Amino acid sequence: MFLVQTVILDANSLMMPFQFKINIDLELQRLLGDCKTMVPSAVLDELWDTSEPQARAARKLAAKYPEAPSSGAGDDAILECAVKLNAVLVTNDKELCARAKSEGLRVATLKGRNHLVIEEF
């Protein structure tokens, strides 16, 4: 039986396509094959509260993925959600990456401004 890997996107990963011209879906397909990509509700809240220039486009991108319920806000909520779903976390936030790896999660980060790599714990 084949299990589909769940992927959690944080706010900065949703802005990557607009900052670096990377296709998140193609990169995740290349790395993981079929996967279920989700966005925590805390990330959606963060995107509505930010003044980052790419936030509007990131909100539109986020709308194509299912919402993953999360409680609280910020990195704690994202990490809790990823742990609960045993998901691969996509982020460039160094602190969140380190915390996720300490929880035994795999993390996908941007490498060379044009592709994602998986970092194992």
Which domains, from first to last, does the chain contain?
5-119 (3.40.50.1010)
d(CA 89, CA 106): 7
Residue with tokens 């994602």: 116
What pLDDT digit, counting tens, does each position of 51-73 carry? 888 899 999 999 999 999 999 88
Tokens standing for 69? 């319920």
Contact yes or no for 40/51 (Cβ under 8 A): no
Name the residue with higher pLDDT: 10 or 2.
Answer: 10
What pLDDT digit, counting tens, does each position of 68-102 carry? 999 988 999 999 999 999 999 999 999 999 999 99
d(CA 68, CA 50): 20
Amino acid 75 reads: D
pTM of the complete model: 0.93
What pLDDT is recorded for position 2? Answer: 58
What pLDDT is recorded for position 54? Answer: 87
Contact yes or no for 86/38 (Cβ under 8 A): no
Average pLDDT, the chain: 92
